[in-house]
Structure 1
C-alpha cells in the first residue's frame, strides 16, 4: 500500500470508530468518517475499495499489529510454550478498546458474502501469533498449527463477547482449557505418525509445503515439485 493511502486509511479508521457502536461497520459509518477527516471521497474509496468491509478488516489488522508490538516488547522466555500462545491470544483481545467494535464486526462477517473475509482475518491472526512466536514449520504442520489456533481464537472471542466476569477471568480460564485441547491434539498427531497403518497418509502429508513468496494469509498449500 502506498504511504499516502496508508495515512488516509489510518485517519479514516480512527474517525470511524466512535460511529461503529451506533451504525456498525457500514457505509454510513465510512461516509461519516470521510466527511469528518475531510479527505477526498475518491481517494478514500481507493483506501477502502469495498467500502465498510475493508474498514472492518483494517481495524482487525490494526489489532494484530498492536498484538505483535506487545509480544515483541514482552519477555516470554520464562514461559512454557503453551503459555506464550495463551498470552498472545490474550494480548490480541486486550488490544480491543471497545468490545462493541468486535461484536459489530462479528455481525458483519456472519453475512454469507463476508464469511470468507472473516475466516481469512482469523487465520491471519493465528499466523501472526505463530510467526511472532518463532514458528519455523514448513510442512503440513504450518497449516495444522494455524487451523487449530484459528479455532481456539474464534471460540475465545465469542466467549469473551459475552463474559461479564471481573477482569474477564472466565475468558482466560476458557482460553487455557482450549490451549490444553490444542496441546493434546499435537501430542496425538505426533503419535499417529508412528502408526504403521497411517504411514501412507503421513507420507502424503509430508509433501505439503507452507506458502513461500506469497501472501502469508493464503490458506492453500502446495506439493513440492517432482513428487508425482
Structure 2
C-alpha cells in the first residue's frame, strides 16, 4: 500500500480542488531548423541566414516561445487563485445562506471579485462543499503534525480524538450540514465525496500508526468509515451542550471497534453505513449495530 502523503503529492493538482476549472498547458512549438552546408572557411554564428533573412537559432526561439507560453499561463493561474479565494470567502456565508450560489456570490463580493466568476464553477454548490472537505482535511493533517499530545495517546484514543477534531470543524455549519450530505449524495458528486472520505479515513489510520498491508487494511478502513458516518449523523440530532453526547457515542463506537469480539455481521453493517450516510438516515443501522 502506498502512503497517503505520497498519493496526495502525485494527485494533488487533479484531486485537491476537483471543481476548479483546469486548463491544459499548451507546449511551445519547436521551430524547424534549417540544414546549412558549411565549408571550412565559413563562420558559424548563433543565427542562420537564408536568402539574406536572419533566422534565430532554435535555442533562442524555444526560449522566446516558452516565455510567451508562461505569460499566457499567468492569467489562467491567477484566475484559479481567484476561484479559491471566492470559495474560502464563501464559507462564512454558508451559515446563513447554505451551500448555495448565493453564498458564493456573497463571498466573491467580500474579496472584491466580480460575482460573474461563480458561473465558472460547473457544479456550484458541490464545489463549495468539496472545497470545505479538502480544507478540513488539510487542517486536520496540520493538527496531526503539530500536536505532540496525540503521540502520547493509545491508538483507540488517538482515533477518537482525530475524528472528534474533524467533526468539530463542521459544528458551525451543523444546521446546514444535512444540505451538504444531500449535495454529496447526488450522482454527479458521489464519486468525489467517497474519495474525500476515503482519504480522511486513511489519514486517521496512518496517524494511529497503522501499517497494515493485507486484507486487514480494508477491514479497518471500512469500520472507521462506518464509525465516522454514524457519528456524523448522530451529531445532527444531538442537542447536548457542545455535542458531549456525540463524543460519548464516538468513544463507545471506537472502543467497540477495537474489541476483538466484534462480529463479521457488525462489520457488514458498518460498511453499509458508509453508503447510507451519504444519502439517507442511518438511524436503522445505528440501532442494529449498537442496540444494547
Asked if Structure 1 and Structure 2 have the same fold, meaning a TM-score greater than 0.5 normalized by the shorter chain, the answer is yes
Give ranges in structure 1 of 5+ residues lacking alignment.
190-228
CA contact (8 A) 2:231 2:250 kept: yes
Is the partner of 2:151 in helix, strand or coil? coil
Alpha-carbon deviation of 1:152?
0.6
CA contact (8 A) 1:90 1:172 kept: yes
Match of 1:78 among 121, 139, 152: 152
CA contact (8 A) 1:11 1:37 kept: yes
Could you say if the C-alpha distance between residues 90 and 5 of structure 1 is closer, same or farther in structure 2, counting changes exceeding 3 Å? Answer: farther
Counterparts in 2 of 1:146-165, with a 5 A limit? 146-165=221-240
- The 1-side partners of 2:90 and 2:184 are apart by 18
Counterparts in 2 of 1:15-94, with a 5 A limit? 15-39=89-113, 48-75=121-148, 76-94=150-168
* TM-score of the superposed pair, with normalisation by structure 1: 0.69
| Alignment pair present for 1:181 and 2:181 | no
CA contact (8 A) 1:122 1:153 kept: no
Match of 1:119 among 194, 205, 219: 194
Mean Cα displacement is larger for which, 125-134 or 146-155?
125-134
Which structure has the bigger radius of gyration? 2
Is the partner of 1:88 in helix, strand or coil? helix
* TM-score of the superposed pair, with normalisation by structure 2: 0.55
Compute the RMSD of aligned alpha carbons.
Answer: 2.9
- The 1-side partners of 2:137 and 2:261 are apart by 25
CA contact (8 A) 2:201 2:224 kept: yes
- The 2-side partners of 1:79 and 1:184 are apart by 17
Alpha-carbon deviation of 1:24?
2.3
CA contact (8 A) 2:101 2:125 kept: yes
Number of residue equivalences: 188
Match of 2:178 among 87, 103, 114: 103
Is the partner of 1:20 in helix, strand or coil? helix
